[in-house]
């Protein structure tokens, strides 16, 4: 949450900062701002709301300078306002920050007592005032920044810019990601490599506790004890076309449509031509694993819940699935033989990272399933399994989810192979079925016009229920999550069999009930639950296949027929109607689909 960027350039820097912030807007869009040093003079511009407001402001009130920092905000301390927008500044220093300074109240009291005048409600402003105190004591910018950092508790990626210093930025990382980009006589800093992609592909990631002293001549890196350290420069290839809308109205629409192709990429990466599963880095020895603990947040958590059905059923391994923010403070015992698996699209989610570190401290082997291969979670894992979905920009995860499912399905099949719980022909059939998924996803996408028509009706509702049984239960939760996060319609997902234990009280003829029910071995059971809804006047949208529609489609409010899919992998395919329903409902309601209110894509605070 919050994106930060810095440039020591050889051109006017304001437009470059704004372009880079555009690529970070997925991290927050409550306000945006930039600061520059021009002929030694520090100045800033800030605007509330989306980045476009800052761009407009800069047209009327430009900001000159070839050195600058910028920020796009997801509010934690203090409402979205100009005063609370970054960069924050004291007299001779400006800072941008991603994270939370946990001891800011004590620091603020101390600084106010020394006469500092605060303008904002933020934790970040303390950092600027603290640095100013050290500058006033006669310390050089580098020492002032160092002394400031020593006083800070919490999590941060910070970037300092100083009055009178046209050729200096100081970056620091503790808990929040930060990357330094190397150009030709220019240097860059950003929250991620995507922000810097058009500027340079040569990236150094700061390690935990690192500081970087950046000038146009290059960057020097120091660890948290101030010792000089070498940090590798990597060449990061980011496909720029995956960060553009490519003719679609929204990134979400593009990312939904991309699913057959990116899943094809992921499957080709993990399945050899002869049909064997190949996990990188020596894979996982499942003969030594007796249980799995899977930890994640949001949609990634629901991918883990789905994988639990697969891994338990196919490989006979018990699986615990945990929400990262709960796991990290519960201090759960990790018995011998546990494999800890962390799933995260961004690879930067603060709670998931903290849960990973908890397990790493217990000498666990860490496996992660991530989309961003250079992310903190990937880099701190013993084995990172990339999902290869390409940049996902829309805040609501779509292709990230289905590619997570595809990789987790492969993990389940590989576990089953090693443990001998599936015979060779059955295993080969499942792998072939998985390989057929991109084609089936294409067929599911072809139902979009019908989904759109139903979504227009759904957009009238104020409450919606999703039901699913077995591995369709996590998908019911995902369908409800998607719908609520982008259309703001209240939605809940339930296990079909649980309906009569409470939620059925909500059913009346104003509450659409979306039943996710492929014609599988649990179909009759789910249909019974659906009948219970209809008997109480509920309006059912049955999402099923041709057989399901023929058997149970009569009398329902709406029926949406999906292509046939092997039972095991139905959750992957049925994710698409759930996504399309949410998308078109949000479009019908006119909400901001890609950047829904109050949310951010990369949640780097607790
Ligand atoms: C946020 C996003 C979700 C995402 C969740 C976990 O809430 O809006 O789409 O599922 O974070 O993110 P991660 O990057 O760890 O998968």
- Interval 501-515: pLDDT, tens: 888 888 888 999 999
Which pTM value belongs to this model?
A: 0.84
Pick from 603, 604, 605, 606 the residue to mutate for probing ligand 1's pocket: most ligand atoms within 8 Å of its CB. Answer: 603
CA of 352 to the centre of ligand 1 (A): 10
Structure confidence at residue 64 (pLDDT): 97
242 pLDDT band (50/70/90 cuts)?
low
CA of 342 to the centre of ligand 1 (A): 13
Dist CA 199 CA 181 (whole Å): 8
Distances from the Cα of 107 to the Cαs of 263, 494, 558, in angstroms? 49, 46, 59
Structure tokens at 108: 């603020």
* In the predicted structure, residue 293 carries a pLDDT above the cut 90: yes
Dist CA 517 CA 532 (whole Å): 15
Q: Which residue has the higher pLDDT, 378 or 533?
A: 378
CA of 474 to the centre of ligand 1 (A): 16
CA of 387 to the centre of ligand 1 (A): 15
Homologous superfamily of domain range 3-235: Aminohydrolase, N-terminal nucleophile (Ntn) domain (3.60.20.10)
Please state the atom number of ligand 1 nearest to the C-alpha of residue 349: 15
> Of the candidates 349, 385, 387, 383, which has an alpha carbon nearest to the alpha carbon of residue 364?
383
241 pLDDT band (50/70/90 cuts)?
low
A 10 A CB-CB count for 331 gives 9
Strands 338-344 vs 291-296: parallel, antiparallel or unpaired: parallel
Q: Which residue has the higher pLDDT, 391 or 126?
A: 126
* In the predicted structure, residue 363 carries a pLDDT above the cut 90: no
Active site residues: 2, 601
Pick from 28, 255, 256, 297 the residue to mutate for probing ligand 1's pocket: most ligand atoms within 8 Å of its CB. Answer: 297
| CATH class of this structure's domain 246-422 | alpha beta
* In the predicted structure, residue 140 carries a pLDDT above the cut 80: yes
Q: Which residue has the higher pLDDT, 168 or 504?
A: 168
Helices (H), 384-436: 399-419, 424-435
Per residue in 212-237, pLDDT (tens digit) is 999 999 999 999 999 999 999 999 87
Structure confidence at residue 535 (pLDDT): 87
> Of the candidates 176, 155, 180, 191, which has an alpha carbon nearest to the alpha carbon of residue 70?
191
Per residue in 547-558, pLDDT (tens digit) is 999 998 888 999
Residues 6+ apart with CB under 8 A from 514: 464, 465, 466, 467, 476, 479, 540, 541, 543, 581
Structure confidence at residue 432 (pLDDT): 96
Please state the atom number of ligand 1 nearest to the C-alpha of residue 396: 9
CA of 72 to the centre of ligand 1 (A): 18
Domain with CATH 3.40.50.10490 in the chain: 246-422, 446-596
Structure tokens at 443: 């067929």
Please state the atom number of ligand 1 nearest to the C-alpha of residue 485: 8
Domain with CATH 3.60.20.10 in the chain: 3-235
Q: Residue with the nearest Cα to atom 2 of ligand 1?
A: 601
Structure confidence at residue 240 (pLDDT): 58
Structure tokens at 368: 């992660």
Structure tokens at 418: 């090693």
CA of 540 to the centre of ligand 1 (A): 29
Region 383-388 average pLDDT: 96
Region 103-129 average pLDDT: 95
Candidate from 348-357, 394-403, 528-537, 543-552 with smallest mean pLDDT:
528-537
Q: Which residues surround ligand 1 with Cβ inside 6 Å?
A: 297-300, 344-346, 349, 352, 395-397, 599, 601, 603
CATH architecture assigned to 446-596: 3-Layer(aba) Sandwich (3.40)
89 pLDDT band (50/70/90 cuts)?
very high
Helix axis angle, 570-589 to 448-458, nearest 10°: 50
Pick from 74, 298, 306, 486 the residue to mutate for probing ligand 1's pocket: most ligand atoms within 8 Å of its CB. Answer: 298
* In the predicted structure, residue 491 carries a pLDDT above the cut 80: yes
């Amino acid at each position: 949450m919050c994106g930060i960027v810095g440039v020591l350039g050889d051109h006017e820097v304001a437009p470059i900062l704004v372009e880079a912030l555009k690529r970070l807007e997925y991290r927050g869009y409550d306000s945006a701002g930039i600061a520059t040093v021009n002929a030694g003079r520090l100045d800033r511009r800030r605007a509330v709301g989306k980045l476009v407001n800052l761009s407009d402001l800069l047209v009327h009130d430009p900001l000159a300078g070839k050195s600058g920092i910028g920020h796009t905000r997801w509010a934690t301390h203090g409402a979205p306002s100009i005063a609370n927008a970054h960069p924050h500044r004291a007299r001779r220093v400006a800072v941008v920050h991603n994270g939370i300074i946990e001891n800011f109240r004590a620091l603020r009291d101390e600084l106010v007592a020394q006469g500092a005048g605060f303008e904002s409600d933020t934790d970040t402003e303390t950092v600027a005032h603290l640095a100013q105190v050290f500058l006033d004591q006669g310390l050089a910018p580098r020492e002032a920044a160092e002394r400031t950092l020593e006083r800070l508790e919490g999590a941060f990626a910070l970037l300092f810019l100083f009055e009178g210093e046209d050729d200096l930025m100081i970056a620091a990382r503790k808990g929040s990601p930060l990357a330094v980009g190397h150009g030709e006589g220019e240097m860059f800093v950003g929250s991620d490599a995507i922000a810097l992609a058009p500027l340079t592909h040569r990236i150094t990631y700061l390690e935990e506790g690192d500081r970087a002293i950046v000038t146009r001549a290059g960057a020097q890196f120091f660890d948290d004890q101030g010792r000089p350290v070498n940090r590798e420069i990597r060449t990061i290839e980011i496909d720029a076309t995956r960060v553009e809308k490519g003719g679609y109205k929204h990134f979400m629409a593009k990312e939904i449509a991309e699913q057959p192709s990116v899943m094809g990429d992921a499957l080709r990466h993990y399945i050899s031509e002869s049909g064997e599963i190949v996990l990188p880095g020596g894979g996982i020895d499942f003969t030594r694993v007796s249980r799995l603990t899977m930890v994640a947040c949001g949609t990634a958590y629901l991918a883990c819940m789905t994988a639990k059905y697969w891994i338990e059923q196919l490989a006979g391994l018990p699986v615990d699935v945990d929400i990262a923010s709960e796991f990290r403070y519960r201090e759960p015992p990790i018995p011998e033989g546990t494999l800890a698996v962390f799933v995260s699209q961004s690879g930067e989610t603060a709670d998931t990272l903290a849960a990973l570190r908890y397990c790493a401290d217990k000498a666990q082997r860490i496996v992660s399933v991530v989309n961003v291969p250079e992310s903190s979670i990937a880099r701190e894992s013993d084995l990172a399994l990339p999902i290869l979905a390409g940049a996902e920009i829309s805040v609501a995860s779509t292709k990230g989810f289905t590619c997570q499912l595809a990789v987790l399905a492969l993990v389940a099949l590989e576990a089953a192979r090693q443990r001998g719980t599936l015979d060779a022909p059955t295993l080969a059939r499942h792998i072939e079925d998985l390989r057929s998924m991109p084609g089936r996803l294409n067929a599911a996408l072809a139902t979009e016009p019908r989904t759109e028509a139903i979504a227009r009706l759904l957009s009238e509702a104020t409450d919606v229920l999703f039901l699913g049984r077995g591995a369709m239960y996590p998908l019911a939760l995902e369908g409800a999550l998607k719908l609520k996060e982008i259309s703001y319609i209240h939605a809940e997902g339930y296990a079909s069999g649980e309906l009569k234990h409470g939620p059925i009280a909500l059913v009346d003829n104003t509450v659409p009930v979306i039943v996710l029910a492929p014609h599988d071995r649990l179909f009759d059971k789910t249909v019974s639950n659906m009948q219970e809804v209809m008997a109480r006047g509920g309006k059912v949208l049955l999402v099923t296949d041709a057989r399901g529609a023929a058997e149970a489609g009569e009398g329902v409010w709406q029926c949406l027929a999906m292509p046939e899919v092997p039972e095991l992998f139905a959750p992957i395919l049925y994710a698409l109607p759930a996504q399309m329903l949410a998308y078109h409902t949000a479009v019908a309601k006119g909400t901001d689909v890609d950047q829904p209110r109050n949310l951010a894509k990369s949640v780097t605070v607790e």
